[in-house]
Structure 1
Amino acid sequence: MEQEKQPKNHKIPFEEDNYTHNIRKEGERKLDRRGFMKTMVGAAGVFAVSTLPWGAIAAKELAGLGKKAQPKLKLAEVKALGIGDALEFAYPTEHESALLIRLGESEYKAYQNACTHLKCPVFWSKEKTELVCPCHHGFFDVKTGAPTAGPPKRPLPEIELTIEQGAIYATGVKRYET
């Protein structure tokens, strides 16, 4: 018995007598398991190689090989700051707050005043002669920046100072050493 031709109703793209008319066996598996794995390994390799420059930069920074040049900033005149007084300033950028404290006739200390626990601001307590973080009751030694009480475990980053011609200058931030 001869099969009748189906009318062109755009349901079947070509004449065929079974229900598998949409399978093209010659292009059935363009991406098999092996091809997929090769593609994934290749993509992972490209990703790994693309991160190498950033890893090199990070390793250089962590090893301390790349010392950042920090600006020299005039903080105050020596005469303007009394013994036991503190001065808040921004260093090394305008978005990083710091604190300068005059401890003695020729003794000055400066620290970034973001607590090393959760970055709350640290304040100078002249009465207790210590740096205080009011958020979680953290306390820091003014001479070393090391935590003396509370949750902070790391010292405050110290700012390097120089005194030239009766003025106090910030010249850099000391690297954190474990």
Structure 2
Amino acid sequence: MENNKKNSTPPFDEDNYTHNIEKNNERSLDRRGFMKTLVGAAGLFAVSTLPWGALAAKELMGLGERNEAIKKITDVQSLKVGEAIEFAYPKEHDSALLIRLGEGKYKAYQNACTHLKCPVFWDGNDQQLVCPCHHGFFDVATGAPTAGPPRRPLPEITIDVEGSEIFATGVKRYET
């Protein structure tokens, strides 16, 4: 009978069934500690993204100053009325399009559709800018989309005509 009594009693003086939770560091991170770690990591991530968010907001709100270099595009006599010429602006790999609409009347836009960045072409017969990828069309006077999936206008490049030379002077910001 004494053997049965020894086997039925716990070898320690506790009646708590979770006595081994702290045994050998089996559970060094409990639920509360895990949640504190999770909230701390989320807070650290949120704080670390603030500088990038501030830069993006500054850019989108137009508060930052953009200074693109002035670049010669072409000479007036080399571009006939109704024709277009492709050039790189503001950087070497940024394609742009200059269209001569009339005497002393020029328009220039970045040459990437605002839908999926496909190249935009000048259709002199229909007097419109065309994106052949998804049949997007843009008004040459404003750069605004007139048909197709694009929803935003083409970014306009400001130009300046000095004597017989045409210069790109900057990129206009989107208006909200």
TM-score of the superposed pair, with normalisation by structure 2: 0.83
Distance 1:30 1:87, change over 3 A: same
Specify the alignment match of 2:37 in structure 1.
39
Q: Distance in 2 between matches of 1:102 and 1:47?
A: 50
Q: Distance in 2 between matches of 1:152 and 1:26?
A: 63
Alignment gaps of 5+ in structure 2: 1-20
Residue 67 of structure 1, CA deviation: 2.1
Specify the alignment match of 1:150 in structure 2.
148
Q: Distance in 1 between matches of 2:26 and 2:137?
A: 70
Q: Distance in 2 between matches of 1:135 and 1:26?
A: 65
Local SS of the residue matching 1:103: strand
Alignment gaps of 5+ in structure 1: 1-22
Distance 1:35 1:24, change over 3 A: closer
Match among 49, 52, 67 for residue 50 of structure 2: 52
Q: Distance in 1 between matches of 2:101 and 2:155?
A: 18
Local SS of the residue matching 1:169: strand
Match among 80, 83, 95 for residue 82 of structure 1: 80
Specify the alignment match of 1:159 in structure 2.
157
Q: Distance in 2 between matches of 1:85 and 1:35?
A: 69
Q: Distance in 2 between matches of 1:135 and 1:42?
A: 46
Residue 107 of structure 1, CA deviation: 0.3
1:135-172 CA deviation, whole Å, 9 max, x = no partner? 22221111111112222221111100011232100011
In angstroms, what is the RMSD of aligned CA positions?
1.9
Q: Distance in 2 between matches of 1:106 and 1:165?
A: 11
Distance 1:48 1:163, change over 3 A: same
Which one-letter code corresponds to 1:155 in the other structure?
A: P
Q: Distance in 1 between matches of 2:35 and 2:22?
A: 24
Residue 80 of structure 1, CA deviation: 1.3
The answer to whether the 8 Å contact 2:22/2:28 transfers is no
Specify the alignment match of 1:132 in structure 2.
130
Distance 1:128 1:31, change over 3 A: same
Local SS of the residue matching 1:41: helix
1:40-92 CA deviation, whole Å, 9 max, x = no partner? 11111111111111111111111110021111110001111111111001111
Q: Distance in 2 between matches of 1:149 and 1:84?
A: 21
Q: Distance in 2 between matches of 1:89 and 1:136?
A: 23
Residue 26 of structure 1, CA deviation: 5.7
Which one-letter code corresponds to 1:56 in the other structure?
A: A
Aligned length: 158
Which one-letter code corresponds to 1:140 in the other structure?
A: F
Residue 24 of structure 1, CA deviation: 7.1
